[in-house]
Structure formats: C-alpha cells, structure tokens
Amino acid sequence: MQEFLISLFGDFGRIIVFLHVISAAFLIGSMFMIRFIIKPTLMAVDDEAVRYSRCIRILERYFYYLFGIMILIISASLTMSIGLGFEYASPTLYLLIHVKEALWVFIAFNFVYMYTKLMNARRLFKTREFFEVHENLGLIVDSLIPLNFILTLIAAYIGVIIRGF
C-alpha cells in the first residue's frame, strides 16, 4: 500500500496537493458562511418554527457536504504524508505533522458531536420543544462551528509551515 501511495503521489502530486488545499478552503469558507452569513439571515425570521425548521434543513445538507469534504481532505493528506515520506523527515517537521493530525482528529470528532446535537434538535423540533431546539442549534452555530473554524485556520497555517520545510 505504501508503494502504491508513493507512486500515486509521484504521478499526481500537484493534483493531490491542489485537492487538499481547495477542500480545506471550501471547509473554511463553509464554516464562515454558516456562522456569519446564514445565521444572521435566519435570525431575522420571526416565526420560531420556520426559523428552526430552516436551520435544521440547512445544517443537515451541510453535514452531507461536510462528509465529502472531510473524506477528500483525509485521503489527500494521507497520500501526501506517505507519498512525501514525512516519516523520514526532520523531527520538527514530523512533530508538526502529528500536531496537524491531532487537530484534524479533534475537528472530526467535533463535527460528529455537532451532528449528534443536530439529530437531537431535529427530534426535539418534532415535539415542539423550541427552547431545547434553540439550545442545541445555538451550541452548534455559536460555539462549535467557530471553534472548528479557528482550529481549521490553525491547521491550514501549520500546513503552510510544513510546505515551507
């Protein structure tokens, strides 16, 4: 498998790096859009049922989008890591790669936690418990997405540092 990934990266390295960078840009941009564009627009809707229904539908579609983006980022990063032979790199570079991997693991688990909160909000919406729906959706949009946004920016910056080595 390692030989295959090294050969794959040797043949398609620029495309793999491009896919990795563009998928990270799409991820960062999507979190920005959810938090700073879509949320204020939804807050202008007066009817709670309509506002929460739309928010749940938007976030459900977002998680479908997010699943594809995360698969692309992970597969490109694994191919780059193995294809470039980072395990044989300097200790500092190798440490930075592990820090970036740890950030991405936390980001992925945070997205899983967000999804469970979304499913909880959807279940509560059906029973018209709007206070609990608000709490679940508010946690996602006001805290967890901005946290992942910041962590993704840090991971992107570490990627720029790694690329400079």
Q: What does the alpha-carbon distance between residue 125 and residue 109 come to, in Å, rounded to a whole number?
A: 24
Q: Which helix (H) or strand (E) holds 160?
A: helix 145-164
Q: Which residue type does 80 have? A: M
The residues, any chain, with a CB within 8 Å of residue 122's CB and separated by 6 or more, are: 56, 60
- pLDDT at position 88: 73
Number of neighbouring beta carbons within 10 Å of residue 14 = 9
Q: What does the alpha-carbon distance between residue 142 and residue 40 come to, in Å, rounded to a whole number?
A: 11
- Please state the domain count of the chain: 1
> DSSP states of 20-41 as a string?
HHHHHHHHHHHHHHIIIIIHHH
Confidence band of 8 (pLDDT split at 50, 70, 90): confident
pLDDT in tens, 35-45: 999 999 999 99
Identify the domain containing residue 77 by its residue range: 2-164
pTM of the model: 0.90
Confidence band of 165 (pLDDT split at 50, 70, 90): low
Work out the average pLDDT over 75-92.
Answer: 83
pLDDT in tens, 103-128: 999 999 999 999 999 999 999 999 99
Q: Which residue type does 133 have? A: V
Work out the average pLDDT over 11-35.
Answer: 94
Q: What is the pLDDT of the chain when averaged over all its residues? A: 93
